[in-house]
Structure 1
Amino acid sequence: MPEQQRKMATRAVATAIAIYGTAHPLGGFAEPMVTDSYNLYGVPGLIEMPTAENAADGEFSGSFSRSGDQTRTALTFQFSPRLSGTFRYTKIPDYGGGTDYYDRNFDLRFQFLDETKYLPSVAVGFQDIVGTSLYSAEYLVATKSIGEQLRFTAGLGWGRLGSYGSIAEFGSRDFVVREEGGEFNVEQWFSGPVAPFGGVAWSPTDKLTFKAEYSSDAYEVETRRGLVDYDSPWNFGAEYRFNEGVSVSVASLYGSEIGAQVNFTLNPKRPLLGPGNETGPLPVRPRPSRSADPAAWGQEWTTDPADLAGLEGGIDKALANEGIKLRAISLEGTRADVRIENNRYYAEAQAIGRTARILTRALPPSVEILTVTPVRDGVPASQISFRRSDLERLENASSDAILSEAVFSEEMVGLPDGMEFVDPSYPETNWYLGTYLGFGLFDPDEPIRGDFGIRVGGSVTLMPGVVASGSVKYRLVGNTEEASAKQRSENVPVVRTDFREYARATDVFVDTLQLAYFGRPAPELYSRVTAGVLERMYTGVSTELMWKPLDGPLAIGGEVNYVVKRDYDGGFGLQDYDVVTGHASAYYDFANGYNVQLDAGRYLAGDYGGTLTLERRFDNGWRFGAYATMTEVSAEDFGDGSFDKGLYMQVPLGWATGQPSKSIHSFSISPFTSDGGQRVRVDDRLYERVRRYHKPDIEGSGGRFWR
């Protein structure tokens, strides 16, 4: 394309974006433009260029592509209807000196303007935002649909996306590829040469899409190193979707190479196996009217021990059939109070709803107030009271309707007057035998490492709030000890980078062995003391205190730990390193599943700093989060990545199997772990333990109340 034409095209795109941004402020959002088509970088796009489309809200995608000799693995999560993030791992063979090069980088993109009848959707994106700058780029892009089958895209790119056909410069830009990334080079954003890109996607059917694009990426580094033969900025491709979760694509790239990709998507809002096949709840049983059967409304049963025992036994049995343990009960003429422990359903709202249904079926008509108190290890966090008449009236209404009528209140440890334990026998023992799978993903030169083995463990509840627990692991196969050595600094104690030594020393080890006490020292206050073998690397004492109102979005906590480093052999020996750590933490629930956590304090290496965590939760147990930790450890001492950061996700077993379950599997991507900014791992920290029983979380998962 001649220079003059490029300039005219760029000015047209810039003018359209500017006019649209002026005419359509952010407050006037419609539904964002959505796609299920991903480019070779693993983001919604054409072939290699991005578009202004988003994935469906909550969608998670895994993309595996090959462009020439390069391979890319990308994980993208649509954090909100407009904001998405991507982690990308790229392998470039023979990058220099006969060695392969592995690059890890993060993207962020935000769709800030919606498509209208005449104007396009517009998004802004940041590529390789804290990496080595090999793929660093920023862009503004607009996409417009024409009918149901055509979508046109035009945009402006800086950095890597401004390297071909540049028509202007906005200051200077450093194009040096850094050995160690991890820093936000804000001063370089939207600076340097700017170039236009664009393309079109045509979908003649729901499954097939053809694409053509004009790329503004010159592949300068790869061309200079002889890795790519760059002949043309034009790319052409086709994509085929087998179903809503799997697609494949092929493309002709820069006139000389062939690219291919397979993409998998899932959405936590859509169960893997459809609605599931869990047993439906028992229906609410309406009472006869008082005028039709006045005798049924009598309260003589309250003075008959046999009647009371029969009622308690029936409730206990019915709850047990639902996977719910009846811990304590109190029955009076017009009210019933029960304490339950949910052993089956991830959402506490579902266990509470099924308990309420059973109470309407089991209790005499005179009982109007039903109070359900969920407990964990004998410790209550809240109680929820319903009018039985509301349950009868609103059974076929939404869950929100009945929860809006419910009364939430606090409940302290210990039983109120008149309430009795159903089975007060302690200690209560639980044992398990299963497998474990530990992953380490996307190391500097190892895409995946992990261990698989057997885990045996158990817990003993000695009395309400006092729990002894432990587990032993036996590794069957794995390659953790083969992971690349992490950079160490003589200025920072070794607290995590010797994980290979732990893996090499033994295949059988004590994972945890501890005694924990959970208390309620005062209203809105929760406490925890844990002592023993806390994790694979550390033993010691951990204490925590948290303030959390029952119905508020804010929680504040403090934690102090004294830990000693364990010997590598996995037994009870100790090394000559101990440290006091501690953090003040603030948690805020923004509703709709969005949460933020800020921790500030002292870490395992004795370094001071803070951690910011952003998280999206779903009512079925899915969680996605990202965190970043900055401490006084310098970027040079920290090594690759400059500071600790990562991603994590939690997958509920019930989502995958269609059966109710409290089991979850957690995965994390922490490719930049070093010795700075590391915390001791402690089971059952208070916020996660408590929040699920409080009003915001129960109402947030209230759609499961009637399930």
Structure 2
Amino acid sequence: MHRRIFQLSSLTLTLMHALPAVANDQDFTLFRPTQSDFGGVGLMQTPTGRVAPEGEFSIGVTMNDDYRHYHSSLQLMPWLEATIRYTQVPDLLYSGDDSFSGDTYYTDKGIDVKLRLWEESYWLPETSIGMRDIGGTGLFDGEYIAASKHVGPFDFTAGIGWGYIGNSANLKGDTSLGYDCGRDTSYKGKGGSVDFARWFTGCASVFGGVEYQTPWQPLRLKVEYDANNYKSDFIVTRSDKPMPQDSSFNYGMVYTFGDWGDIRASYERGNTWTLGFTLKTNFNSLSQSWVDTPTPAYAPKPQTDAADIDWQRVAQDLDTVAGYREAKIYADNKTVTVVGSQGKYRDRELAHEKGAMILANTGTSASTFNLVEQQANQTTTQTTIDVAAYRKVANQEYVGAKVSDATTLVNPNSPRGMLQADTSEPWSVSFSPNLQQSIGGSEDFYLFNIGVTGGASYWLTDNIEFGGSVYVNLYDNYDKFKYDVPPDGTDLKRVRTLVRQYISDNPVRVSNLQLTAFDKFGDSVYVQGYGGYLETMFAGVGGEVLYRPLKSNWAFGMDVNYVAQRDPNSEFGIFTEERHYDPTTGRYYNVQTGTPTGHFTTYYRPEWSWFDDLLIKASVGQYLAEDKGVTLDVSKQFDSGVIAGAYMAKTNLSAEQFGEGSFNKGFYISIPFDIFTVKPSASRAVIGWTPLSRDGGQMLGRKYSLYSMTNARYPGSEFTNK
């Protein structure tokens, strides 16, 4: 008997060693979290306690006979996952009004968040709390607490769900009060609002499952116990289509394609096949190999008088090698100052290293180098380089020598010495692609236009620029956008909802033509004034002032404008009559003939370890439709330089006045060009998602933003306006 007990104990210890209880990179290099049907890390219908690696971005589609989920998830922080989802219901139309939505499927827009409470340890499972569909109309809204634990190739999950996730009420709830156990499933206004009062109410159920990593690396198997009974689903309550549940167990498999995607198949409710796929990348590890101009070797020449150095050649090298474009060089035998824009390297330290090496190899006797960065001819920062300290760095005289050991970031000073070289030009010409899109609207699920913008500018003085741009529309489907006021219940002045007239009806249009004056007061106050055709839809005059101290994580700005709406049927005309007739809809509408608009904005970059690389912008003021309120814009900068952000504008408009969506909101991603190119570049591309084109909470689109222009004043910042 004792021998058998000893043998069993030995077997138990052997199994404990064979099946480790703690997840780590060595034990589970092949086991990475995958997306659920709804988007976000999970099994199929149910979430898990897991989150993806920080920076992971995924887009996916999940389809069955009942729903089509289009979802995108982003691991914003190690502890915070965010998911945006659009769900189409093929059995239901967007509305009963054919003239308003035609044959467009009913589309639900939802936002999910998951917060990891703690990571997995030897004894504790990885545990998270989450909310599903917090910003939609409540089709799938629910809350949960889930915990997941690795045991060898298995990942076990158990949790408690409320709302849609727990409608079987196997833990708590009175189904005699309704399929939702008395939970208030109505939504406020026109949808899109967050209803905190119903969180963690109604039915509550236990759910769980397991994910198994098979010996064949690409294949994973999933089994879950689904705690939803599908009796309160939108299809069931709004149509005659049933959603029977023949089994509470769902079975699925995932075939992964390395780190970039997977395909999913599952058999759910005992009667329904579901298919899906996911594409993903990681914004932290995203990188590209450049074919770059190498940094010159350190080869100092004999000391040479400043007047005898070929500074014009030096300016060319600073452009091609270090990225300081249109530079002016001031020099004497004590100081060399380079004033130019940095258009090549997002990593300023790399630009400093190359610039310092070029200057050090000239043979100058100067003891100080100054690299002054400017944007729109306005100086923003000065990097002062101690030449003696830099020579030690260049010679690698100590371990870990780097250019930052010899540099100091200061406010720009007036350059000393004579102007030795000037490669600046008053003219500039640019071309850029443009994509505008709106997802989930009533007229069509995806509305977009793609085109090219060509711009040119001329500097009349160092502070005054005259410039403009022309937009050429290559293709769009905004002819389907036939927004009509009465069906949507709002009588606001039409500002952004006139987009069809400006894009589809006018494929070539002067999008900007303005005179801009810049100036600077003291070390930290930047100003601009402008007038003309400020954007595609509005003309007027305005100005902006920004207070931004060097190295500060705070900044304050204010813009004030007076604008009138441009007439889409006239290249340079503006509306002079407020009331107009729309022959497409056969109804009258009002436009903006002149109004003040502007905002006071606070910019804040938290310096907390658990909330790092964020920019929080809060703007208070009056919008284009004369509504007043606050816009909150939060964006995250990842290691690769990719910036992901979201914004919302809440004004004094009621949900009924605003229309569908209740308030203005959107998402955007700003991507550095050099991620896709073979050469370094400081330029960026911005992709935005707007759920609906509406008129409330709309800001003026200004050509220049002083905060973006002065990004170099906060070391490491690449934040840019959407």
Report the TM-score when normalising by structure 2.
0.84
Say yes or no: does 1:430 pair with 2:428: yes
Higher mean C-alpha displacement, 35-44 vs 434-443? 434-443
Q: Which residue of 2 aligns with 1:218?
A: 229
Q: Which residue of 2 aligns with 1:106?
A: 111
C-alpha separation in 2, matches of 1:251 and 1:410: 60
Q: CA RMSD in A?
A: 2.7
Out of 638, 652, 675, the residue aligned to residue 655 of structure 1 is 675
**1:271-320 residue CA offsets vs partner (Å, 9 max, x unmatched):** 3xx541231531451669xxxxxxx4x5x624xx3x13x2x133112123
Q: Which residue of 1 aligns with 2:457?
A: 459
Q: Which residue of 1 aligns with 2:658?
A: 638
**1:514-567 residue CA offsets vs partner (Å, 9 max, x unmatched):** 121221122210011121111111011120001000111000011101111000
C-alpha separation in 1, matches of 2:705 and 2:569: 27
**1:53-75 residue CA offsets vs partner (Å, 9 max, x unmatched):** 11111111101111334111111
Q: Which residue of 2 aligns with 1:20?
A: none
**1:645-670 residue CA offsets vs partner (Å, 9 max, x unmatched):** 11111122211224212332211112
**What is the DSSP-based 3-state SS (H/G/I as helix, E as strand, rest coil) of the residue aligned with 2:145?**
strand
Distance change >3 Å, CA 214–CA 699, structure 1 → 2:
closer
Alignment of 1:412-451 (within 5 A): 415-420=414-419, 422-423=421-422, 428-433=426-431, 435-451=433-449
Out of 454, 467, 483, the residue aligned to residue 485 of structure 1 is 483
Q: Which residue of 1 aligns with 2:686?
A: 666
Out of 151, 158, 183, the residue aligned to residue 154 of structure 1 is 158
Task: Tell whether the 8 Å contact from 2:89 to 2:107 is kept in structure 1 after alignment.
Answer: yes
C-alpha separation in 2, matches of 1:193 and 1:570: 58
Counterpart amino acid of residue 574 in structure 1: I
Q: Which residue of 1 aligns with 2:35?
A: 38
Alignment of 1:462-473 (within 5 A): 462-473=460-471
Counterpart amino acid of residue 460 in structure 1: Y
Counterpart amino acid of residue 107 in structure 1: D
Out of 217, 229, 248, the residue aligned to residue 263 of structure 2 is 248
Out of 569, 590, 595, the residue aligned to residue 579 of structure 1 is 595
Counterpart amino acid of residue 418 in structure 1: G
Task: Tell whether the 8 Å contact from 2:328 to 2:424 is kept in structure 1 after alignment.
Answer: no
Alignment of 1:459-538 (within 5 A): 459-485=457-483, 487=485, 491-538=491-538
**What is the DSSP-based 3-state SS (H/G/I as helix, E as strand, rest coil) of the residue aligned with 2:361?**
helix
C-alpha separation in 2, matches of 1:441 and 1:347: 34
Say yes or no: does 1:138 pair with 2:154: no
Q: Which residue of 2 aligns with 1:345?
A: 345
Give the number of equivalent residue pairs.
Answer: 648
C-alpha separation in 1, matches of 2:236 and 2:651: 39
Q: Which residue of 1 aligns with 2:566?
A: 566
Instruction: List gaps (5 residues or longer) in structure 2.
Output: 1-27, 97-102, 175-180, 577-592
Distance change >3 Å, CA 641–CA 434, structure 1 → 2:
closer
Task: Tell whether the 8 Å contact from 2:352 to 2:403 is kept in structure 1 after alignment.
Answer: no
CA drift at 1:178: 7.0
Counterpart amino acid of residue 212 in structure 1: V
Q: Which residue of 2 aligns with 1:164?
A: 168
Q: Which residue of 2 aligns with 1:189?
A: 199
CA drift at 1:437: 3.0
CA drift at 1:398: 10
**1:33-91 residue CA offsets vs partner (Å, 9 max, x unmatched):** 99341111111111121111111111111011113341111111111111111110010
Task: Tell whether the 8 Å contact from 2:330 to 2:421 is kept in structure 1 after alignment.
Answer: no
Task: Tell whether the 8 Å contact from 1:394 to 1:401 is kept in structure 2 after alignment.
Answer: yes
**What is the DSSP-based 3-state SS (H/G/I as helix, E as strand, rest coil) of the residue aligned with 1:498?**
helix
C-alpha separation in 2, matches of 1:688 and 1:700: 7
C-alpha separation in 1, matches of 2:424 and 2:171: 79
C-alpha separation in 1, matches of 2:400 and 2:325: 23
CA drift at 1:570: 5.4
Distance change >3 Å, CA 39–CA 686, structure 1 → 2:
same
CA drift at 1:634: 0.6
C-alpha separation in 1, matches of 2:424 and 2:324: 17
Task: Tell whether the 8 Å contact from 2:326 to 2:424 is kept in structure 1 after alignment.
Answer: no
**1:103-140 residue CA offsets vs partner (Å, 9 max, x unmatched):** 00111111011110121011011111021011111110
C-alpha separation in 2, matches of 1:453 and 1:496: 18
**What is the DSSP-based 3-state SS (H/G/I as helix, E as strand, rest coil) of the residue aligned with 2:203?**
strand
Alignment of 1:312-351 (within 5 A): 312-322=311-321, 323-325=323-325, 327-351=327-351
Out of 595, 603, 617, the residue aligned to residue 615 of structure 2 is 595
CA drift at 1:157: 0.5
**What is the DSSP-based 3-state SS (H/G/I as helix, E as strand, rest coil) of the residue aligned with 1:381?**
strand
Instruction: List gaps (5 residues or longer) in structure 1.
Output: 1-30, 289-295, 702-707
C-alpha separation in 2, matches of 1:196 and 1:425: 68
Distance change >3 Å, CA 564–CA 179, structure 1 → 2:
closer
C-alpha separation in 1, matches of 2:656 and 2:644: 30
Instruction: Report percent identity of matched pairs.
Output: 27
C-alpha separation in 2, matches of 1:72 and 1:484: 25
Task: Tell whether the 8 Å contact from 2:34 to 2:41 is kept in structure 1 after alignment.
Answer: yes
Alignment of 1:675-686 (within 5 A): 675-686=695-706
**1:458-484 residue CA offsets vs partner (Å, 9 max, x unmatched):** 122222232222111222321112125
C-alpha separation in 1, matches of 2:260 and 2:39: 14
Counterpart amino acid of residue 582 in structure 1: G
Q: Which residue of 2 aligns with 1:25?
A: none
Q: Which residue of 1 aligns with 2:634?
A: 614
**What is the DSSP-based 3-state SS (H/G/I as helix, E as strand, rest coil) of the residue aligned with 2:276?**
strand
Distance change >3 Å, CA 490–CA 125, structure 1 → 2:
closer
C-alpha separation in 1, matches of 2:47 and 2:362: 59
CA drift at 1:176: 3.5
Counterpart amino acid of residue 628 in structure 1: M
Q: Which residue of 2 aligns with 1:65?
A: 62
CA drift at 1:402: 3.9
C-alpha separation in 1, matches of 2:596 and 2:189: 34
Distance change >3 Å, CA 609–CA 679, structure 1 → 2:
same
**What is the DSSP-based 3-state SS (H/G/I as helix, E as strand, rest coil) of the residue aligned with 2:257?**
strand
Report the TM-score when normalising by structure 1.
0.86
